[in-house]
Amino acid sequence: MVENWQPLANIVTLKQRAQYLADIRCFFAKREVLEVETPILSPAAPTAPYLNSFTTDYIPIGSQSKQTHYLQTSPEFAMKRLLAAGSGSIYQIARVFRNGEQGKLHSPEFTMLEWYRPELTLNQLMDEVNVLIQQVFNFKSISRLSYRGLFEFYLKFNVFDCADDQIKYCAQQRIKGLSDDLQLDRDGWLELLMSHVIEPRLAAMNMPVFVYDFPASQAQLAQIKQDQQGNDVADRFELYIEGVEIANGYNELLDANELRQRFESDNQQRRDQQKPEMPIDNHLLAAMESGLPACSGVALGWDRLIMLALNKPDIKSVQSFSFELA
């Protein structure tokens, strides 16, 4: 007989989780942001090289043919199609799936709160996130630090003009236990320094932090702009609470051609790494060609936020049944 049928989260936690859901719906209702639902399954998938989608087969009844579908890693693409169709501000509380990711802060299946605000600039969206985490979750106000400033302050180099070798050298000096033959690209070394050196500092700050103006190479689906020093930066932010990455926000890329190029360069990277290429979402590209309104959007890890709000040690503790108990 299987013994571990019970949830890891206790019933009190699940009630608190339900209350947060009610509160967040109230928060958006007051702001007249529309709740939407979009498909979890799609024949297209994000191309990001380090995002692994789950696949499943659609088999029409009476047929032998299998049509590969992907489980969403975020509801982003479908929500942008709604925006292009004139939905106005929308939000979604969605189940999302990321193959292979499991740990204290990762689960292959989790809940994401994602919202888009056509009438807000990225700065105004950051203000809204700030109000949300204070009002609904009782966290402290969020301070703002640029990516460049963080690296300059803690690691003494300029992320925009430092040579790759110097970044690698810095990582090997500052992070104990890296093998000498570790091979990473520039962004890989920067990410490693972020997670091993800077995140612990952010955790020690005792207040939530927005990191903004990422290197353009980490733009994902955000627009690229120039910062005050004239560096190309990605117009996006990440929210860290207690050193944990909680949310990722963009001044959304609007140019369909630019997006197609990013999808294709992602797929090129996938080919180089012997990973399967992902089918590009042509519906999204068509929607963007017809016109995505200027907008800001943010995706927030719901389980992580609740974990921190309730002082739990891992996201399992706030999920009714974690992946290994499913």
Partner 1 sequence: MANISTNEFKSGLKFMLDGDPCSIIENELVKPGKGQAFNRVKFRNLKTGRVNERTFKSGDSVESADVMEVELEYSYTDGEFWYFMDPVTFEQHAADLNAIEDCKKWLKEQYIYTVTQWNGTPLLVTAPNFVNLTVADTDPGLKGDTSGGGGKPATLETDAVVRVPLFITIGELLRIDTRSGEYVERAKNK
Q: 245, 258, 277, 289: which one contacts partner 1 (CB under 8 A)?
A: 245
- The answer to whether the CB of 229 falls within 8 A of the CB of 152 is no
- Where is 118: in which H helix or E strand? none
Residues 6+ apart with CB under 8 A from 90: 33, 34, 35, 36, 79, 82, 83, 115, 116
The residues in 212-241 that bind partner 1, with binding defined as CB under 8 A, are 218, 220, 238
Token pair in block for residue 206: 């005792």
Q: 182, 207, 286, 326: which one contacts partner 1 (CB under 8 A)?
A: 182
Least separation in angstroms between CB 279 and partner 1: 18
**118: burial class by Cβ within 10 Å (0-12, 13-18, 19+)?**
middle
Token pair in block for residue 39: 């498909």
Least separation in angstroms between CB 54 and partner 1: 16
141 versus 238: smaller Cβ distance to partner 1: 238
Cα distance between residue 115 and residue 299, in whole Å: 7
Q: 60, 62, 86, 100: which one contacts partner 1 (CB under 8 A)?
A: 100
Cα distance between residue 326 and residue 321, in whole Å: 6
131 versus 182: smaller Cβ distance to partner 1: 182
Residues 6+ apart with CB under 8 A from 262: 47, 219, 221, 253
271 is a site residue for partner 1 (CB under 8 A): no
Q: 26, 41, 43, 50: which one contacts partner 1 (CB under 8 A)?
A: 50
The residues in 149-178 that bind partner 1, with binding defined as CB under 8 A, are 175-178
76 versus 128: smaller Cβ distance to partner 1: 76
Alpha-carbon torsion 198, 200, 205, 208, what sign? positive
Near partner 1 by CB under 8 A, which window of 115-123, 160-168, 189-197, 281-289?
A: 189-197
191 is a site residue for partner 1 (CB under 8 A): yes
68 versus 195: smaller Cβ distance to partner 1: 195
322 is a site residue for partner 1 (CB under 8 A): no
270 is a site residue for partner 1 (CB under 8 A): no
192 is a site residue for partner 1 (CB under 8 A): yes
196 is a site residue for partner 1 (CB under 8 A): yes
Q: What is the DSSP string of 200-268?
A: HHHHHTSS-EEEEEEEGGG-TTB-EEE-TTS-EEEEEEEEEETTEEEEEEEEB---HHHHHHHHHHHHH
Least separation in angstroms between CB 276 and partner 1: 15
Q: 101, 227, 258, 277: which one contacts partner 1 (CB under 8 A)?
A: 101
Token pair in block for residue 133: 């985490």
277 is a site residue for partner 1 (CB under 8 A): no
1 versus 298: smaller Cβ distance to partner 1: 298
What is the DSSP-derived secondary structure letter of residue 172? Answer: H
102 is a site residue for partner 1 (CB under 8 A): yes
What value, to the nearest 5°, has the Cα angle with vertex 182 and ends 180 and 185?
Answer: 135
Residue 95 has phi, psi (to 5 degrees) of: -80, 130
265 is a site residue for partner 1 (CB under 8 A): no
102 versus 121: smaller Cβ distance to partner 1: 102
What is the DSSP-derived secondary structure letter of residue 195? Answer: I
**136: burial class by Cβ within 10 Å (0-12, 13-18, 19+)?**
middle
Give the residues lining the site for partner 1 (CB under 8 A): 48, 50-51, 100-106, 175-179, 182-184, 187-188, 191-192, 194-196, 218, 220, 238, 245, 248
